[in-house]
A and B are shown apart, each in its own frame.
Chain A
Amino acid sequence: MATSRIPPQLLRSPLGRAVGLGSAKEGVDHWWRLRITSIALVPLCLWFVVVVIRLAGADLDAFYGWLGHPIPAIVMMLLVLATFYHSALGLQVVIEDYVHAEPVKFGLLIFMRLACFALAVAGVFATLRIALGT
């Protein structure tokens, strides 16, 4: 009986098995990361609004004095990282949903990811520079 060595419970054709396409086993990964970052952003955004209001009329020295403390600097960097992580995940879905021309979609996804990464690094660096003294 050499006709089929594939167990009958495995409902995939020999070709399907050879091509190897199927679940990448990360179906909920993107969704989950979006939730985790959104939960982090709830307190971080409320904090940020309060901070901006309090700094509205302040000069640069007051800003330096405030961000020179460890806790504001740490929270600011967490805000930057959570913002651009969440942005990258959200914008990815928007691009995938509305841009159907494959080369444009591919290019936009790459550009968006790199831009989010660069902006996150810029935000963290700026915060560190102020926090640690210019």
Chain B
Amino acid sequence: MSYDNRPLSPHLQIYRWQLTSVLSILHRASGVALSIGAVLFVWWLVAAASGPAAYAQVQRFFGSPIGLILLFGWTVALFYHLCNGIRHLVWDTVHALDLPNTYRGGWIVLAGTVALTALAWIFGVSGWH
């Protein structure tokens, strides 16, 4: 089946973005990112089970600038997907499906993501045990 010359929608060049659609695609994007992050999660567990040398290698990677950037991106993705996932679960109970509430929920999700990410990194960097 040919997919050429079929009408495209939406036309991204003249498209006015809305919070709802942006959050929707971000849910997918963060889900894919978290799936890739889950590979690192297993790498961490397997390295810990393998012994000190492998574990030190993982610790070095996550302590490096690239590792820290990945870790930060991973926390943002996790908290966003978590908050927006709860928003989806609320919708599944047939609540807050009207337009004002989808926007209100969207902003709450974004605020929650920023707050939880900040909280996690403040605790993480300050060395709370």
Binding site for B on A (CB under 8 A): 35, 38-39, 41-42, 45-46, 49, 52-54, 56-57, 60, 63-64, 67, 76, 80, 83-84, 87, 90-91, 94, 100, 119, 122-123, 125-127, 129-130, 134
Contact = CB atoms under 8 A, between A and B. Distances in A.
Main secondary structure of the interface of A (DSSP, over half): helix
A35 B31 CA distance: 14
Interface of B: 3, 28, 31-32, 34-35, 38-39, 41-42, 45-46, 48-49, 51-52, 55, 75, 78, 82, 85-86, 88-89, 92, 120, 123-124, 127-129
Main secondary structure of the interface of B (DSSP, over half): helix
Contacts of B55: 60, 63
A124 B59 CA distance: 20
8 contacts: A54-B128, A80-B41, A83-B41, A87-B34, A119-B42, A126-B42, A127-B45, A134-B49
B71 to A, nearest CB: 9
Contacts of A91: 31-32, 35
A123 B48 contact: no
Contact of B38 (A39, A49, A119): A119
A100 B3 contact: yes
